[in-house]
Chain A
């Protein structure tokens, strides 16, 4: 059974304090690993898709990396507007549904 775990459950940073969020997964043939951002009361917003180990993607202060067992979302010099819940999801080679992790709740204090 495909599984996704995320750590930490919650993270509090000072503005400008860089850190990383972890997504660990077990999947029967990875078809894609996805990162989303979710603000309170809203649906998840797509950030990145990674397909193979060693792949990296960047967007503003965010950088996502992928290995065969986990993915990291690196946040460089975060700002308060980066505060949100960050969700990780995987999709396998056999099914069409996505398996989501529980998320990391990030708070960036000014």
Chain B
């Protein structure tokens, strides 16, 4: 079946602009995660959703970052007033449930802020 998809695959933007990154999880997966991976770094947890609610937003780096999920499916990560340090690969993952369930990752969105 179809895996996790993300769009756009690449995004180049200017400092100060807002960007929206989209994630389509595997159908039926109730849990959805966003991570950031900077060059040569490990994955940094940003936020997770169980259904449409986000119980843990502790990983969001600043109030410029926000995320929402609608219909228990598609999620959007929004970065307002982008900064050069926001340049990274943003990865989305989904899992069937939160409890002891494996995450399946999308290919990521490569964001470059000039």
Show the binding face of A for B, using Cβ within 8 Å: 4, 31-32, 34, 36, 41-46, 49, 51, 87, 89, 95-103
Contact = CB atoms under 8 A, between A and B. Distances in A.
13 contacts: A36-B105, A43-B4, A43-B91, A43-B106, A44-B43, A46-B103, A49-B102, A95-B56, A96-B56, A97-B33, A97-B45, A97-B48, A102-B41
B108 interface: yes
A42 B42 CA distance: 14
B105 A87 contact: no
Given A42-B107, A43-B91, A101 B42 contact: yes
A46 B56 contact: no
A97 B36 CA distance: 13
A98 B100 contact: no
B104 A46 contact: yes
A44 B45 contact: no
Contact of B105 (A4, A43, A96): A43
Contacts, number: 56
A43 B42 contact: no
Contacts of A44: 43, 91, 105
A87 B42 contact: yes
Chain A interface SS verdict (over half): strand
A99 B107 contact: no
Nearest to B40: A102
B61 to A, nearest CB: 14
Contact of A97 (B41, B59, B91): B59
Given A43-B4, A43-B91, A98 B103 contact: yes
Contacts of B59: 97
B33 A98 contact: yes
Nearest to A105: B40
B1 interface: no
